């Protein structure tokens, strides 16, 4: 099987996340995309909605999508969670599966700052969601040799689907003002936010 791993804060999950997850699955012919809400990502600061709510919103958003799944793996581990450890756990549980990790272009260009990034890229294939104004030409020197090799081998793919122009930060700001953000949210997620009185 081909398994896609999609990590993120998902605070909240929105239509842009689902759009790129569909592109991830279709362009790479993945059997399943697993959403991995973050527990304690070391590189992001600030408060976020409790992990149980973020997982519940992901589950609500994908409930009618049989090729999508949610995992609490990055939430139940104590302390900071690192992508290299997450991939190792999936490899232990699914040793025969081909793993793909979804990154935004901004994250790819910072990959050399990740914990044990060279181990990480040996353990998984990487798919990149392109962002306007960012491309591999601006990659730092530390990544250039690996990028060229990975593109040639096919272990790195740039998705062709354009990103959906919305962010969780933007949605949280609108909700904090008492405005609705239903145009950017799956209906089940908007209902959950209202019911649980989140982002007020």
Say how many domains are in the chain: 1
Distance (Å, rounded) from C-alpha 150 to C-alpha 128?
12
**By percentage, how much of the chain surpasses pLDDT 90?**
81
- Mean pLDDT for the stretch of residues 60-75: 96
Question: Residue 79: pLDDT band by 50, 70, 90 thresholds?
Answer: confident
**Domain for residue 153, yes or no?**
yes
CA–CA distance, 133 with 183 (Å, rounded to integer): 25
162 vs 159: CA distance, rounded Å: 8
97 falls within a domain: yes
SS3 (DSSP) at 108: helix
Q: What does the pLDDT look like over 9-54, one tens digit per residue?
A: 999 999 999 999 999 999 999 999 999 999 855 555 556 888 899 9
Alpha-carbon distance of 101 to 120, in angstroms, equals: 10
Residue 56 lies in a domain: yes
Question: CB-side exposure of 49: number of CA atoms within 13 Å?
Answer: 25
156 domain residue, yes or no:
yes
52 neighbors 45 (Cβ within 8 angstroms): no
Answer yes or no: is 181 within a domain: no
**Average pLDDT rounded to a whole number, residues 90-97:** 96
pLDDT in tens, 106-121: 899 999 999 999 999 9
Specify the CATH number for the domain of residue 97: 3.40.50.620
Q: Which domain holds residue 97?
A: 2-165
């Amino acid at each position: 099987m081909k398994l896609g791993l999609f990590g993120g804060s998902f605070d909240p999950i929105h239509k842009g996340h689902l759009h790129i997850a569909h592109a991830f699955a279709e362009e790479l012919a993945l059997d399943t995309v697993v959403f991995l809400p973050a527990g304690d990502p070391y590189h992001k600061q600030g408060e976020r909605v409790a992990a149980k709510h973020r997982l519940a919103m992901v589950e609500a958003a994908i409930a009618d999508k049989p090729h999508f799944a949610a995992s609490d793996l990055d939430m139940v581990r104590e302390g900071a969670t690192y992508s290299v450890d997450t991939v190792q756990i999936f490899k232990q549980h699914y040793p025969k599966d081909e793993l793909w990790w979804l990154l935004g272009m901004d994250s790819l260009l910072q990959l050399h700052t990740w914990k044990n990034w060279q181990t990480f890229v040996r353990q998984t294939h990487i798919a990149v969601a392109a962002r306007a104004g960012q491309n591999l030409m601006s990659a730092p020197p530390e990544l250039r040799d690996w990028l060229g090799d990975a593109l040639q081998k096919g272990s790195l793919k740039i998705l062709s689907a354009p990103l959906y122009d919305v962010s969780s930060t933007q949605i949280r700001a609108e909700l904090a003002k008492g405005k609705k953000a239903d145009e950017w949210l799956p209906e089940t997620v908007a209902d959950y936010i209202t019911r649980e009185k989140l982002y007020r």
